[in-house]
Amino acid sequence: MNSKKLLFPYVLVTPAVIITVLIVFIPIIETSIMSLFNYVIWKPKDYKFIFLSNYIKVLKDPVFWISLKNTAIWVTGTVSLQLILGFVTAMLLNRDFWWRGIARSLILIPWVTPSVITALMWRWMYDGNSGVINDLLVRVGILKEYFPWLANNSTALGSVMVALMWQGFPFFSIMILAGLQAIPDSLYEAAEVDGATPLQRFTMITLPMLIPILFTSILLRIIWVANSMDVIYVMTGGGPGYSTYTLPLYSFIKAYKFMDFGYASTLAIFLTLFLVAVVAGYVVKVLKSQGSME
């Protein structure tokens, strides 16, 4: 009876644990093993153990370094854009007005939009011959003639970042709005009695109270944006040249187009290591700055 009681919680989690071991952990181990092999799917005869050769090859690969640089720009740029727009939206939605419910619902639409549709819509709007963005900019007088946003080396990455800002800013709005609503009104009332200006109320109450939620949501977004490459893939396929290659995209292309699974696995492992390093660095930095504040 007693041992049966003790076992019950384990019995309930067993299916989930077994499945995740089978479909997540074993495959990841397989990736690390594959990274030590020369493994091109359509060249089965060349399959052999090459130890760390793939890793050395990666470090000498100029495309890897370009992709790494692009990944850094992509993550910092996209997360900042999403955060700024999301923050402004949340501050506005935190006010009391009659169409607030509708506004909040409509703003969530980009967030549930399938990545492929996001990419296609923006690619169509950016189009160099019949894109609506070009037409608007020419009408307003900012541009003299149509510009091929996605086909130009210096604008392609930025243009894709704007599309991803569109898709991701609702996430920040929801999280920050939840944070704002959790701040007790009494704090603001007390500050008003003490004669604090609106700016002081923002920097002394709103921001500090939001720190935990900002921390969590920025962290989640960094990971998500770093990994996401479906929008880039459909919008530019990495081009022109290598100007929109990011690390996950490079790995995906190596696997999908070139069927070079050994090399693609190695790139995936590098990406994972970088992510772990960035996340750990971020956590340590935030914890330190919080420690110094107290």
Partner 1 sequence: MRRRIVRGLFTLHIPLLVIVLFALAPYIWMFISSLTPEKDLYTKEFHYFPEHPTTENYFRIFSKINFTSNIKDSLIVAFSTMILGLGISVTASYSFSRFRFFGRNFLLVQFLVINMFPIVLLLIPLFVIMRFLHALDTHFALIIAYSTFTIPFSTWMMTGFFNAIPRELDESAQVDGCTRFTAMTRVIIPIAMPGIAATGIYIFITAWNEFLYAAILTGTHVKTIPVALQNLIGEYEIAWGLLTAGGVVSAIPVIILFFFIQKRLISGMTAGAVKA
Q: Are 95 and 180 in contact (CB under 8 A)?
A: no
Nearer to partner 1, 103 or 284 (CB): 103
DSSP class of residue 23 equals I
Q: Which of 72, 71, 85, 90 is nearest to 213 (CA)?
A: 90
Nearer to partner 1, 157 or 177 (CB): 177
Nearer to partner 1, 17 or 59 (CB): 17
In the complex, least distance from residue 166 CB atom to partner 1, rounded to whole angstroms:
7
In the complex, least distance from residue 237 CB atom to partner 1, rounded to whole angstroms:
9
Residue by residue, DSSP assigns 188-226 as: HHHHHHTT--HHHHIIIIIHHHHHHHHHHHHHHHHHHHH
CA distances from 111 to 12, 116, 165, 221 (A): 33, 13, 10, 13
Burial class (CB in 10 A: 0-12, 13-18, 19+), 193: exposed
In the complex, least distance from residue 33 CB atom to partner 1, rounded to whole angstroms:
9
Nearer to partner 1, 194 or 251 (CB): 251
Nearer to partner 1, 157 or 269 (CB): 269
In the complex, least distance from residue 182 CB atom to partner 1, rounded to whole angstroms:
5
Cα–Cα distance, 45 to 43 (Å, whole number): 5
In the complex, least distance from residue 41 CB atom to partner 1, rounded to whole angstroms:
8
In the complex, least distance from residue 87 CB atom to partner 1, rounded to whole angstroms:
11
Residue 33 CB coordination number (10 Å): 13
Structure tokens at 37: 């092999």
Cα–Cα distance, 138 to 56 (Å, whole number): 49
Burial class (CB in 10 A: 0-12, 13-18, 19+), 291: exposed
Nearer to partner 1, 157 or 271 (CB): 271
Contacts with 108 (C-beta within 8 Å, 6 or more apart), sequence order: 170, 174
Taken as a whole, the chain contains a residue count of: 294
Cα–Cα distance, 157 to 177 (Å, whole number): 29
In the complex, least distance from residue 217 CB atom to partner 1, rounded to whole angstroms:
7
Nearer to partner 1, 160 or 269 (CB): 269
In the complex, least distance from residue 208 CB atom to partner 1, rounded to whole angstroms:
15
Nearer to partner 1, 157 or 175 (CB): 175
